[in-house]
Amino acid sequence: MKSAMTFQQSRRAIQGFTLIELVVVIVILGILAATAAPKFIDLTAEARTSTLEGVAASVNGASALIYSKAIVKGVQNLPFSSLTLSDDPGETNPFYISYGYPVVLSNSADASAYWKRIIDVGNDFIIISNTGGKLIIYPNDIIAPEGSSDPCIVTYSNATGEYSKPTIAVKDCV
């Protein structure tokens, strides 16, 4: 009788894990992976790029609204003109346009206040114009870009002629 019990116990030891034990281990590993993976995967660059795409869409929408005001005024085909943004007769601060779209000012100090009149980016972004006539918008918590090809920026270039649109581009963050 003793030899029969020893044979059954040794046979059970050879079988391995049961299905329930394997499922429990897989569930535990899945929970650990779900909680630990975000600590090892950095999605900051993708999030910043998505935010910049939103800023670019805001610039695109604002320039389209300015263009529609230029059409109403009849100055959409002029290489240089100005218009007022509100219907308030007391407003005397002109907004400069080229072929109906907003113009990049050459003075970088004025670019921020000028563009914040039409886009609401708050203090989270810095707006500058570079010497190449491009507007550059970038997050305020990164190092200032040296040019319009640096990563993590939105660039805006003036319209170049009648029936052309300004160029708005997003440089992905790294």
Q: Give the pLDDT confidence of 78-119 residue by residue, as tens digits.
A: 999 999 888 777 777 889 999 999 999 887 667 888 899 999
What is the band of 127 on the pLDDT scale with cuts at 50, 70, 90? very high
Element (H, E) at 50: helix 44-73
With 80 as the cut, is the pLDDT of residue 33 above it? yes
| Strand-by-strand arrangement of the 95-98 sheet | 81-83, 95-98, 101-102
Lookup result for tokens 């170049």: 160
With 90 as the cut, is the pLDDT of residue 3 above it? no
What pLDDT is stored for residue 90 in this prediction? 73
User: Bridge partners of 83?
Assistant: 95
What pLDDT is stored for residue 91 in this prediction? 74
The pTM of this model reads: 0.75
User: Bridge partners of 126?
Assistant: 138
What pLDDT is stored for residue 169 in this prediction? 97
d(CA 37, CA 44): 14
